[in-house]
């Protein structure tokens, strides 16, 4: 099987879908000649032409709103937001409008569109090239929110997102783009939105995570294994809708939960996961539900020392797991 990194998998997914379906168009900043700042659309302009690969003016609200309108009128747009830190101007369209259209028109109109946005830190991005935004969108009924961690998942989920008849937010962790490599089958496949995956089986502790933190969590699980504690690592993959069944099945088995994410702790995805468990698997719990998350500061500082202070690491995760195991 071919081995590739996450950004290559993302590119391949879009490429295949654009070839498959002429309704798919892409719009965003620098996606044309430049091929995207991360080269996710390299060569697309030449292959698919200016009509389908649209270098947009620097106006995120418009990128989102135009995608919504095009989706309402029969296209399947992929809107690229250059960095998640610049996604805030789209909130009017992506929280206020798109997710309410199917419901608010009683099904007369649908909004089959995808918003791709590179997010996350550990890349010396400072306060404004490191932010996470998935929790904001995950609070919004009518939206689907995907945060893949591996090339395989990125490709299969992005294809599902493009084929979905609802708006899908697709957050790609920038640090996984080139760092994380993996096998991606040549044969066509699609991964359903809304399914978590147990990335490592275990008995003693359930670790729920997604995105870059999956990789750090797997490392930490290895550390724990050396100490005789087996950690089950659940990769949410989709953070809305959450796959309650998979989460609860694991917790029911282990009775202990650590939730790990890079996004700020308060009101993050971990809060909802914890609340679901505390509501629906209470009787199986042997220990408090723990969260290890990005601290509550406004994204991570630029200086390497301060950035490291922000980022959850395999070491910090392993320490939290040990604490939980010892409870």
Partner 1 sequence: MTNCNSVRGMGLATKSKPGIAAVTASENRHNLLGLTAERLLDIYQRMVLSRTLDQRVWQLNRQGKAAIVASAQGHEAAQVGSALALDKDRDLFFTYYRSMAVCVALGVTPTEVLLTFMAKVGEPFSGARQFPLHGAYMQHRIINVSNVVAAHLTKADGAALAFKTRQEFGVVIAYFGDGASSEGECHEAMNFAGVHRLPIIFFCENNRYAISVPLDKQMAIQDVAIRAQGYGFPGVVVDGSDLLAVMEATGNAAARARAGEGPTLIEAKVERFMPHTSDDDDRRYRSKAELEEMRGKADPLGKLRSYLLEQGILTPEMDKAYLAKALAEVNEATDFAEKAPYPDTSTFYDHLHSPGTRGV
Binding stretches for a second copy (CB under 8 A): 61, 85, 88-89, 91-92, 95-96, 99-100, 103-104, 127, 135-136, 138-142, 240, 242, 264, 266-272, 274-275, 277-280, 282-283, 285, 287-291, 296-299
Joined together, the tokens standing for residue 264 give 């700020």
Distance from C-alpha of 198 to C-alpha of 278, rounded to nearest angstrom: 20
Q: Does 301 bind partner 1 (CB under 8 A)?
A: yes
Per the CB < 8 A criterion, the answer to whether 198 and 245 are in contact is: no
139 touches which of a second copy, partner 1, ligand TPP, none (CB within 5 to 8 A by kind)?
a second copy
Residue 157 CA, chain-centre distance (Å), reads 10
HEC letters along 27-47: EECCCCCCCCCCCCCCCHHHH
Kindly write out the interface string for residues 42-61 of this chain, putting x where it contacts ligand TPP by CB under 6 A and - elsewhere.
----------------x-x-
198 touches which of ligand TPP, partner 1, a second copy, none (CB within 5 to 8 A by kind)?
none
Q: Does 29 bind ligand TPP (CB under 6 A)?
A: yes
Per the CB < 8 A criterion, the answer to whether 294 and 267 are in contact is: no
Count of residues of this chain found to bind ligand TPP when the rule CB under 6 A is applied = 5
Length of the chain: 327
Strand order in the sheet with 168-173: 53-55, 24-28, 76-80, 114-119, 168-173, 144-146, 238-240
Annotated active-site residue 129? The verdict is: yes
Nearer to partner 1, 249 or 287 (CB): 249
Q: Determine which one of 129, 204, 215, 261 is catalytic.
A: 129
Per the CB < 8 A criterion, the answer to whether 130 and 162 are in contact is: no
Q: What are phi and psi of 64, to 5 degrees?
A: -70, -50
Q: Does 284 bind ligand TPP (CB under 6 A)?
A: no
Beta bridge partners of 161: none
Least separation in angstroms between residue 277's CB and a second copy is 7
Q: Which of residues 89-118 bind partner 1 (CB under 8 A)?
A: 89, 92-93, 96-97, 100-110
**Which residues carry out catalysis?**
129
Binding site for ligand TPP (CB under 6 A): 29, 58, 60, 82, 86
């Amino acid at each position: 099987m071919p081995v590739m990194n996450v950004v290559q998998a993302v590119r391949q997914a879009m490429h295949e879908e654009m070839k498959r379906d002429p309704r798919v168009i892409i719009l965003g900043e620098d996606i044309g000649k430049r091929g995207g700042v991360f080269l996710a659309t390299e060569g697309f302009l030449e292959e698919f032409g200016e009509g389908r690969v649209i270098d947009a003016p620097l106006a995120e609200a418009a990128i989102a709103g135009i995608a919504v309108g095009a989706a309402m009128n029969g296209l399947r747009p992929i809107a690229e937001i250059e960095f998640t830190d610049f996604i805030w101007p789209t909130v009017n369209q992506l929280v206020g409008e798109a997710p309410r259209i199917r419901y608010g028109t009683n099904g007369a109109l649908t909004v089959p569109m995808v918003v791709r946005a590179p997010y996350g830190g550990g890349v010396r991005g400072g306060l404004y090239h490191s932010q996470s935004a998935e929790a904001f969108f995950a609070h919004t009924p009518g939206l689907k929110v995907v945060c893949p961690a591996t090339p395989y998942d990125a490709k299969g989920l992005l294809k599902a997102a493009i084929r979905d008849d609802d708006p899908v937010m697709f957050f790609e962790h920038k640090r996984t783009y080139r760092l994380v490599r993996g096998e991606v089958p040549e044969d066509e496949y699609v991964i359903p939105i809304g399914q978590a995956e147990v990335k490592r089986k275990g008995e003693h502790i359930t670790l729920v995570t997604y995105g870059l933190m999956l990789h750090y969590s797997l490392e930490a699980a290895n550390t724990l294994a050396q100490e005789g504690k087996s950690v089950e690592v659940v990769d949410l993959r989709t953070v809305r809708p959450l796959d309650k069944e998979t989460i609860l099945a694991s917790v029911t088995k282990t009775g202990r939960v650590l939730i790990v994410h890079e996004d700020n702790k308060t009101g993050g995805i971990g809060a909802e996961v914890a609340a679901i468990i505390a509501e629906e698997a209470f009787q199986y719990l042997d220990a408090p539900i723990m969260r290890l998350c990005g601290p509550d500061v406004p994204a991570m500082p630029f200086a390497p020392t301060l950035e490291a202070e922000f980022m959850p690491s395999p070491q910090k995760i392993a320490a939290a797991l040990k604490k939980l195991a010892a409870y």
